[in-house]
Structure 1
């Protein structure tokens, strides 16, 4: 089987998570500068066997698109054009940053460590991926 990659797209930073080859476990991979995201994906996809990319879909509480929604839509479409063999999925990402921050507290990270926004983005990408895996198994 191939891996599933997850993206928590942000204006400045993008969190990345990935599954193992059996698609059982979602793990944080890294956080990259959003301006370097295309290059990162190009390099990663050459090295690893990935079948699906899951992209967080930001929504408001009333389910309307957020201000970053159109940017992420354009990114997803460009990704699909560049990699037509990949499945591109979208997952509601509401509350993932709050859940990531709570995960950091629950795991005992010190206050200084919890200020690391890159780590929050990586954990949020992991939560997005895990929610996709959970939904897929139903």
Structure 2
């Protein structure tokens, strides 16, 4: 599962059983960390998740800014809640730009793009992660 964390939403994506193809699940409207985790728990259970890839929004120069620090704190919260879960911070630079290009090329209207852009960014993050795995590790 991949998460694209925003201040107002969390984009969620999961992989297929072969860990080769990422697909969007939903965009969670954030209503506090407790409610975020209630919904994430439902998805983790439903999708039988064993790895969570969290987008790590480094600055373009590679430095760690405020948003990246928020992701680090979120990852620590996940690890505390799911000590056996593999959790990975993944460089998400330009993932939203890539997601936007995909949606525009699909001729999607701006209003619709706005609603699903975070979910599509999570798809891009997860697909990049999956593509980086050696063939034998693709058991997510």
Give the aligned length.
Answer: 132
Aligned to 1:76: 75
Give the TM-score taking structure 1 as reference length.
0.89
Q: What is the CA distance between 1:42 and its match in structure 2?
A: 1.6
Structure 1 runs not aligned, ≥5 long: none
CA distance in 2, matches of 1:46, 1:29: 13
What CA distance in whole angstroms lies between the structure 1 residues aligned with 2:78 and 2:110?
37
Shift of 1:61: 1.1
Q: TM-score if structure 2 supplies the norm length? A: 0.87
- Runs of 4+ aligned structure 1 residues displaced above 6 Å come to none
Q: Show CA shifts across 1:89-127 (max 9, x none).
A: 11100111111111111111134433x2x3110000000
Partner residue, 2:138: none
Alignment match, 1:23? 19
Change (3 A) 1:47 1:105: closer
RMSD: 1.4
